[in-house]
């Protein structure tokens, strides 16, 4: 064996560099991944959400109520919309359209002037304690906003505050983090496992040399897609059952909604992830590309769905992207059914986006699979 040669080393380096350049897709993904992380963490993530959707029920509008509403808006945490009825408030908070409902009682002005320190009830959606934490903490500094509007005789009575806020954390009164994390974890585990399993389905056949046999069979592309997806749906259901059982027994996770309906909807979510994995597997040239596509997708799925950071804290463009992600809607469904007891009417607005996503990904996969037949 001859001594070390820089000439041979440079030749090998040249060969490896040419091999890297022959796979431009992998190179683009490697460069794009850190850029995407910087953009998401720098612009999209915010642990102190503001402009939270808030409903207002006000029996008798007057100067005191207007002062309080203005003070709430000035905190930056509350984006207030006046509601017409308690039924509208219940519907909004059940479907997740509202995070707070502020209820100012009748005869509020009279009770303030009498020094009775009336209560303003605030119902908060406790399914995501992180999203409402700072907003509820800001209420403590607003109980004296009426001092300048009080009658002179009341301004001299400083023993009690003019009014008080009573916050009721709905669906999670103790604001336990586990009740927020576990439903999201169900969707996260399903997304990662099912996506990775099917991402390699077609590329593995191609690299093992068995793709020719598959192409020679008298089957349609959609039949191949369904055959690749179906076995993993059972695996996904097994994961759901394990997580729900362990969470209910050890973490006392409440299950207020229909388990059968939950499993049916999660089946659709599992199928959408499997369809996305098949799409990556069909588009990618090799297994490495397919894995990189899956990893490139999982990061925004977790960050923009509201699993780790509050969804309402993200800017409008990030929420727009998040609405196109099936995991966002699946998490709302799971949290709503487990913690709120939501039924078909409440979850329907989040079911159809998952179905549309699955239909689009299956169509793309079938289209590219047809291209491989030429």
Instruction: Give residue limits of the domains in the chain.
Output: 52-170, 177-373
pLDDT, tens only, 80-100 = 998 888 889 998 888 888 999
Percent of the chain with pLDDT over 70: 87
CA distances to 30, 108, 320, 329 from 335, in Å: 34, 35, 20, 10
Residue 310: the pLDDT is: 83
Q: 304-336 b/e with 16+ CB inside 10 Å = b?
A: bbbbebbbbbbeeebbeebeebbbbbbbbbbbb
> Contact, 304 vs 314, CB < 8 A?
yes
pLDDT for the residue numbered 55: 92
pLDDT for position 56? 92
Residues of the chain with pLDDT under 50: 371-374
Q: Is 53 helix (H, G, I), strand (E, B) or coil?
A: strand
| pLDDT value of position 373 | 43
Nearest partner of 330 among 349, 308, 314, 303, judged by Cα = 349
Average pLDDT, rounded, for the chain: 81
- Classify domain 52-170 at the CATH topology level: abc type-2 transporter like fold (3.40.1710)
Give the residues across from 100 on adjacent strands: 54, 124
Residue 104 phi/psi, 5-degree rounding, is: -95, 120
Torsion angles phi and psi, residue 57, rounded to 5:
-110, 115
Pairwise CA distance, residues 336 & 34, whole Å? 34
In the chain, what is the greatest distance between 2 CA atoms, to the nearest angstrom?
103
**Complete edge-to-edge strand list for the sheet that includes strand 164-170:** 78-82, 52-58, 100-104, 119-125, 164-170
pLDDT for position 205: 67
| DSSP assignment letter at 312 | G
Three-state secondary structure readout of the chain:
CCCCCHHHHHHHHHHHHHHHHCCHHHHHHHHHHHHHHHHHHHHHCCCCCCCEEEEEEECCCCHHHHHHHHHHHHCCCEEEEECCCHHHHHHHHHCCCCCEEEEECCCHHHHHHCCCCCEEEEEEECCCHHHHHHHHHHHHHCCCCCHHHCCHHHHCCCCCCCCEEEEEEECCCCCCHHHHHHHHHHHHHHHHHHHHHHHCHHHHHHHHCCHHHHHHCCCCHHHHHHHHHHHHHHHHHHHHHHHHHHHHHHCCCCCCCCHHHHHHHHHHHHHHHHHHHHHHHHHCCCHHHHHHHHHHHHHHHHHHCCCCCCHHHCCHHHHHHHHCCHHHHHHHHHHHHHHHCCCHHHHHHHHHHHHHHHHHHHHHHHHHHHHHHC
Tell me 307's DSSP state. S
pLDDT score at 152: 62
| Alpha-carbon 254 to chain mean position | 20
The Cα 123–Cα 169 span in angstroms is: 6
| Nearest of 140, 338, 157 to residue 247 by alpha carbon | 338
pTM here is 0.79
């Amino acid at each position: 064996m001859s001594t070390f040669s820089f000439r041979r080393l440079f030749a090998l380096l040249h060969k490896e560099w040419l091999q890297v350049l022959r796979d431009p897709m992998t190179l683009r993904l490697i460069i794009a991944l850190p850029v995407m992380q910087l953009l998401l963490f720098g612009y999209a993530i915010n642990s102190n959400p503001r402009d939270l959707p808030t409903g207002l029920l006000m029996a008798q509008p007057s100067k005191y109520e207007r002062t309080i509403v203005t003070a709430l808006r000035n905190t930056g945490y509350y984006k207030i919309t006046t509601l017409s009825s308690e039924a509208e408030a219940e519907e909004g908070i059940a479907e997740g359209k509202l995070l707070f409902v502020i209820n100012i009682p009748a005869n509020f002005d009279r009770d303030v002037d009498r020094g009775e320190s009336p209560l303003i009830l605030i119902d908060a959606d406790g399914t995501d304690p992180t999203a409402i934490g700072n907003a509820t903490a800001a209420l403590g500094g607003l109980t004296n906003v009426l001092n300048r509007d009080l009658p002179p005789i009341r301004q001299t009575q400083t023993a009690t505050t003019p009014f008080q806020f009573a916050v009721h954390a709905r669906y999670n009164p103790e604001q336990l983090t586990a009740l927020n994390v576990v439903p999201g974890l169900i969707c996260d585990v399903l997304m990662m496992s099912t996506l990775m399993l099917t991402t390699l389905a077609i590329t593995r056949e191609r690299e093992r040399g068995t793709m020719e046999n598959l192409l020679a069979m008298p089957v349609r592309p959609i039949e191949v897609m369904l055959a690749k997806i179906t076995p993993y749906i059972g695996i996904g259901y097994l994961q759901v059952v394990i997580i729900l059982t362990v969470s209910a027994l050890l973490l006392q996770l409440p299950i207020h909604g229909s388990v059968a309906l939950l499993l049916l909807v999660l089946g659709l979510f599992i199928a959408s992830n499997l369809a996305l994995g098949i799409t990556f597997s069909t588009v990618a040239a090799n297994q490495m590309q397919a894995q990189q596509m899956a990893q490139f997708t999982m990061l925004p799925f977790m960050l923009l769905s509201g699993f780790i950071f509050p969804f309402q804290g993200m800017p409008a463009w990030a929420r727009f992207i998040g609405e196109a992600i099936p995991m966002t809607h699946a998490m709302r469904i799971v949290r709503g059914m487990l913690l709120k007891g939501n039924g078909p009417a409440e979850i329907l607005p989040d079911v159809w986006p998952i179905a549309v996503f699955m239909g689009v990904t299956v169509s793309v996969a079938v289209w590219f699979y047809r291209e491989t037949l030429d």
